[in-house]
Structure 1
Amino acid sequence: MLKIPGYIDGPLAEGSAYLDDPLFWPVHLGASLRGEDAQRAAFGADWDAAMNLSHVLSAEREWPVFSVPLSSGHTIHVVYRNIEGERGVDYLLHHPTWPAAETLAVDDGHFMGPGLSWPELLSAARQPATREVDDADARLLLLFPTLGDALLPDDATIALTAALTALTVIEEPAEVASHLLENQGQWAPAHWRQTDGVWINDGGHSYRNPFNAFALPQDRLLEISNALNGNPA
């Protein structure tokens, strides 16, 4: 059974097999597919099959884990936390030298985030890897729910559309990409800036806003910024 230092002692299980199912992606991105138009575009005639997959992913007997290694040696763990009444998806960052993983974002009814800006999302997705989740498109979609960025570049839709085209059977991927970027996460899109080498935001629910009482400490914020942006420590 998998273990993540400092994380809940649950039935963690490698989830990479789900990544080959085209329906996994709209299910995973569901929190950003709000409204009938978005859901119709993402699921189409596959709605019932997608809901069946969602039930499997949220089963208490097994908590799927998807791991995204970074060039710095850190790993982002995406965990389906399947506790009855407290289900959600946790986005954790860990390094072998840390005693416990840190939480970047939480996608549930008591959401926390954002965890990544758009440039960081692209950087984390495109960092080379030879183990675990190593496909750039899969990494982009897997980490997308952590996004919260008020200043998206003009080509954001292009990158997201390309990933959806590669991994899903969605008929109009550009339309779905637009819906995703319009909603992003459950939080309001944040403004990001760099201060003393640390990328921070102004999100009221973000661990990366140093003005929040629950923010991560400064040294962690610096290490996280470097890891996500592909900078040397």
Structure 2
Amino acid sequence: MFGADYDAAGDFQRRLWERAEWPTFTVPLAADHRLHVVYRSFTDDTGTDYLLHHPDWDRAELLARDDGHFMGPGLSWPELVEAANNALPGGSTTDPHARLLLLLPAFGDVEVPDDAVARLADALRARTSVEDPGPLAAVLLEDQGVPVPGPARWRSAERGFSVNDGSYSFRNPVNSFALSADRLDRVANALAP
């Protein structure tokens, strides 16, 4: 489908999950915040965690988790693009295409701009061997993990920080497992475009 080399992708994934240490990729954000993508390689329980951290915080905030029980979304389209495009040094890469694809699984947003398909297609063209990335980009943005988690609607909460309505999102304040209001506020401020 879409010209992807599934044997090569499967081989890469196997090598990634067989590593003794957990592969971790970091995307720096403004004011010393960091997004960390951690590939948990427990035997028979692999997964990917999307964490936001600052050196002054007592703990990292879990934004999304991609494993047998997906939790998210953790990023809106503007937050995803800002993290991808900021070019701040000190992370795993400054390449905006690699950053966009790395963080894409944590994304979910009903309202994407008209140029979103082209932006994602450019990243797929630059960093994958997909022969025609436009249709794949369109499908990825349209489906966004349907049925779970599906796209979310983002809005500004009463206190002014961004939240969403995702049933599995740590950033949906009505969920029993959501981050507290103070933690939602600091996450939104750290990710603000």
TM range (shorter): over 0.9
Show the counterpart of 1:160. Answer: 120
List alignment gaps of at least 5 residues for structure 2.
none
Q: Judge conservation of contact 1:206–1:215 (CA < 8 Å) in 2.
A: yes
Q: Identity over aligned residues, as a percent?
A: 51
Structure 2: how far apart are the matches of 1:113 and 1:172?
Answer: 28
Show the counterpart of 2:155. Answer: 193
- Which residue identity is paired with 1:187? P
Structure 1: how far apart are the matches of 2:143 and 2:22?
Answer: 26
> Residues 218 and 189 from structure 1, CA distance in 2 versus in 1: closer, same or farther, beyond 3 angstroms?
same
Structure 2: how far apart are the matches of 1:71 and 1:134?
Answer: 14
Show the counterpart of 1:216. Answer: 179
Structure 2: how far apart are the matches of 1:191 and 1:76?
Answer: 22
Root-mean-square deviation (Å): 1.3
Show the counterpart of 1:227. Answer: 190
Secondary structure in 1 matching 2:13: helix
TM-score under structure 1 length normalisation: 0.77
Q: Report how far residue 60 of structure 1 moved.
A: 5.1
Q: Report how far residue 204 of structure 1 moved.
A: 1.0
List alignment gaps of at least 5 residues for structure 1.
1-39
Show the counterpart of 2:51. Answer: 92
Show the counterpart of 1:47. Answer: 6
Q: Judge conservation of contact 1:88–1:107 (CA < 8 Å) in 2.
A: yes
Q: Report how far residue 129 of structure 1 moved.
A: 0.8
> Residues 95 and 42 from structure 1, CA distance in 2 versus in 1: closer, same or farther, beyond 3 angstroms?
farther
Show the counterpart of 2:133. Answer: 173
Show the counterpart of 1:22. Answer: none
Q: Judge conservation of contact 1:124–1:229 (CA < 8 Å) in 2.
A: no
Q: Report how far residue 61 of structure 1 moved.
A: 1.6
TM-score under structure 2 length normalisation: 0.93
Structure 2: how far apart are the matches of 1:50 and 1:60?
Answer: 16
Secondary structure in 1 matching 2:130: coil
Q: Structure 1, residues 156-179: CA drift from partner, whole Å, max 9, x if none?
A: 101101111122221101111112
Among residues 46, 50, 70, which one is paired with 1:111 in the alignment?
70
